[in-house]
Structure 1
Amino acid sequence: MQTGDNLGCFGASKKKKDAQPVQPKEVASTSRSANQRSEPLKGMELLWHPEVVKSYLALLQSCSNPETLEAAAGALQNLAACYWQPSIEIRASVRKEKGLPILVELLRMEVDRVVCAVATALRNLAIDQRNKELIGKYAMRDLVQKLPSGNLQHDQGTSDDTIAAVLATLNEVIKKNAEFSRSLLEAGGVERLMNITRQRQKYTPRVLKFAGQVLFTMWQHQELREVYKKQGWKEPDFVTKTVAARNAGSNSPNNANSTLNRPMASQGGTRYEDRTMQRSANSNNTSSRSPGPSMYQRGDDIPMADMSYPEGGTHAPPAGGVRNYPPNSVSASFR
């Protein structure tokens, strides 16, 4: 799949990049590591060195095989998922190698599992402040377009896992930025979020909870409340009693220890699923809704960390229920 130049605004010039607000700790840390490294790389270190980003981006830019695209995006997702030094460098490297527009363009694919891996990769890359600003500025409409619109033909190919991954990225981008919250509103995001929260029998509790959280995050930008009201929205559209109570306690999604504020990755061993094997007829995208939380009758009942895996699953959930790529054959991840 070839990508065009229409998104070249990502990291277009050094002058523009220097003008972006930065996270001092992450930027300084990246520079310090690059200067200190003198001995040659060897062994496992080669797997997470920033140079590996070029190989994955080359695959994402030139390949048309969905399995390869999903695996390459999933690799970037995992590499960018942590707070240790290599992940900091990987996040910066993706931006410097102009990988963000490549990933954003892949959001437009019709292959659900590719979109899910790409959306999750973008969420993890958004830990980097400059990445977050670029994603918020140039990817908002593409992210919103992946949310259900109420049109059956548009919505039927999108799994709950992909919807959840997109919601995670949106929440990360808007939670401390009123400008991006306004962009979400202008892109028709509120209508699509409402479409999710008003169809409680259609979506998993996980998706319902995260859609409600994005709406709540939008309402926290007090300077935009009059803007919302002028477009016909009211406080109850953004804040329900359940969401308000959830955000008031120590388990608030705004808490640093919440799964909504941690990147998506595994802290334990995993087994790669060979997706080149022939799939059974009943394992297509439209049937990929996670059965794990089905024991819950309402979205309000499921704890944030209780993102249960199907029985017999080979991927153990790390602390907080945060999942990793590759997912098992039934469900993927959203934090």
Structure 2
Amino acid sequence: MIRPWLAGGFHSFRSTIDPRYSGINNLDMLTAVRYLKDDDAETQVLGAAYIQHECYNNNDAKNEVQQYKAIQELVRLFNSENLEVARYATGAMRNVIYENMDNKMSLIEEGGIPQLINALKENDDELRKNITGILWNLSSKDNLKEKLAKETLGELTERILIPLSGGGDSEVIQQSPSEVDIFCNTTGCLRNLSSVNEKTRRQMRETNGLVDALVGYVQASVQDGKVEEKGVENTLCVLRNLSYQLYSEIPPSALLRLEGPTRGQETSRSEAIGCFTPQSKKVKDRKNQDMSTFTEVARVPKGLEWLWHPQVVGLYNRVLQGCETNSTTREAAAGALQNITAGDKRWAEVLSHVALEQERMLPVMLDKLRTNNDLELRSLTGFLRNLSRHAKDKNAMATKVVNNLVTELPVDCQQKEPSSDVVVNICGTLNNLVTSSTIAARDIAFFDGLQKLVAIKNSHDSSPGKLKASKAAATVLCNMFQYKKLHKDYKQVRNTTGER
């Protein structure tokens, strides 16, 4: 499975100071903090504007903010009745906390997060841009993520994510330039939060409207030809992170509906819960399931059900086909597909069949293998490995994929790319095919795969990655040896390489 991916933090920014506040050039930090305490709104703005200006890439100024306890005064102004004061206070805080952990902790200790969330009620683009920028920045720190998720997810989803994703009612996303930034900040924050741990992933999956909004946004963006944009990248990364270890983390009741009852479980109940009714008469035969059955009994998915619904496979497929320039977005889509087809659960097999038989994704995946991006290649080959495990006709799959995969293998073990993770995935795919397909073994030999596998096997690099790759290659070679017709080829390779 693909591990969660971070989105980093929001950068600091240099704002254009209103000419009315040119007097900040005559201030110092202590005076600026005193101005924050004044009752006059213009004086408060002047103090906040000075702090914002001075803390742009200036660590000494950030330390002075800490020294003079400016953070508690800025927090107090987040919900000022004067909107301009709130804008400047949050703008200053965005720079104050950038790359400064002490100031981030002070913001939290002073009750800054609830104040920021409360300020989101104000429907003002500049204020919301500052607030979501601050939250994105805070979310880059692992030790803050659980607290942020607990205190922000509901409001961020309701006030930002759902409205700016189209609210599920529109096939076209209409965002102003400021709203594009606000949405990007928000999804960047969610991308970071979704990467931290199981507890937070569970909370995000169960936040009302969150997954629906993410999927709806991707659907509308694909429809509108905007799949390359940063907001889509962040959104796909969140979905990929939320699909990580999905079948071990979703509620037991949901998993039961996907897997069906075991022999020792009650089988008389067939109440439809969620998207599917695997206990129904149409789908009781697990070994010979007709995929059309699942689409017939599928309901309109809701919430976390989207993460494993057959329709999401088609959505990721369209992203892969439509995204030409953003390799991170393609990687996220392939990684999500890898996650939902991973393991030995029945539903992983079901979705693999959807990808192979309904979505006809194999040609798409083979085309994307031409990438030079190793991270993207890792996700693609991981997904192919899962597909090869669950494929019904391994001979047919072998005919299409072996040449492409052997081409990606390194000629020798001295190459840095592809990475060991990619090599392990390729060998795993080849092994899944070889164990059931003479054609796979034949094609590996025909396309000079034996030489490459032997070279990988004989790697003497003691690094964990190289050792895993060596073991994976050895496993393929061992299983190929069962086909006696190819022993002549093996002997030739051994004579050439000195392999015993």
TM-score by length of 1: 0.57
**For the residues of structure 1 that align with 2:335 and 2:298, how far apart are their CA atoms?**
30
Deviation string 1:279-316 (CA, Å, 9 cap, x unpaired) is xxxxxxxxxxxxxxxxxxxxxxxxxxxxxxxxxxxxxx
Deviation string 1:247-290 (CA, Å, 9 cap, x unpaired) is xxxxxxxxxxxxxxxxxxxxxxxxxxxxxxxxxxxxxxxxxxxx
Tell me: CA distance 1:187–1:111, structure 2 relative to 1, closer, same or farther (3 Å).
same
Tell me: CA distance 1:162–1:38, structure 2 relative to 1, closer, same or farther (3 Å).
closer
Any residues of structure 2 matched to 1:77-96 within 5 Å, and which? 77-95=338-356, 96=358
Corresponding position of 1:286: none
Deviation string 1:99-153 (CA, Å, 9 cap, x unpaired) is 111111111111111111101100101123336334311111111111111396x
Any residues of structure 2 matched to 1:270-281 within 5 Å, and which? none
Q: Which of 412, 427, 431 is matched with 1:150 structurally?
A: 412
Tell me: CA distance 1:98–1:31, structure 2 relative to 1, closer, same or farther (3 Å).
closer
Kept after mapping to 2: 8 A contact 1:178/1:224: no
SS at match of 1:44: helix
Corresponding position of 1:277: none
Higher relative CO (Cα under 8 Å, sequence separation at least 6) belongs to 1
Q: Which of 459, 466, 477 is matched with 1:215 structurally?
A: 477
Tell me: CA distance 1:163–1:227, structure 2 relative to 1, closer, same or farther (3 Å).
closer
* Same amino acid, percent of matched pairs: 28
Any residues of structure 2 matched to 1:1-335 within 5 Å, and which? 25-28=286-289, 30-35=291-296, 37=297, 39-63=299-323, 64-95=325-356, 96-130=358-392, 132-150=394-412, 155-201=415-461, 204-229=466-491, 231-233=492-494
Q: CA deviation at 1:29?
A: 5.6
Tell me: CA distance 1:228–1:197, structure 2 relative to 1, closer, same or farther (3 Å).
closer
TM-score by length of 2: 0.39
Q: What value does the CA root-mean-square deviation take over the aligned residues?
A: 2.6
Q: CA deviation at 1:233?
A: 3.9
SS at match of 1:28: coil
Q: CA deviation at 1:53?
A: 1.2
The gaps in structure 2 that reach 5 residues or longer are 1-284
Q: CA deviation at 1:31?
A: 4.5
Kept after mapping to 1: 8 A contact 2:353/2:391: no
**For the residues of structure 2 that align with 1:88 and 1:38, how far apart are their CA atoms?**
17
**For the residues of structure 2 that align with 1:132 and 1:78, how far apart are their CA atoms?**
21
**For the residues of structure 2 that align with 1:106 and 1:132, how far apart are their CA atoms?**
21
Q: Computing the radius of gyration over CA atoms, which structure comes out larger, 1 or 2?
A: 2
Q: CA deviation at 1:67?
A: 0.8
**For the residues of structure 2 that align with 1:126 and 1:183, how far apart are their CA atoms?**
15
SS at match of 1:127: helix
**For the residues of structure 1 that align with 2:322 and 2:421, how far apart are their CA atoms?**
26
Q: CA deviation at 1:39?
A: 4.6
SS at match of 2:383: helix
Kept after mapping to 1: 8 A contact 2:316/2:337: yes
Letter in 1 for 2:423: I
**For the residues of structure 2 that align with 1:26 and 1:34, how far apart are their CA atoms?**
17
Kept after mapping to 2: 8 A contact 1:50/1:86: no
Letter in 2 for 1:170: L
Letter in 2 for 1:101: P
More helix by share: 2
Q: CA deviation at 1:156?
A: 3.1
Letter in 1 for 2:417: G
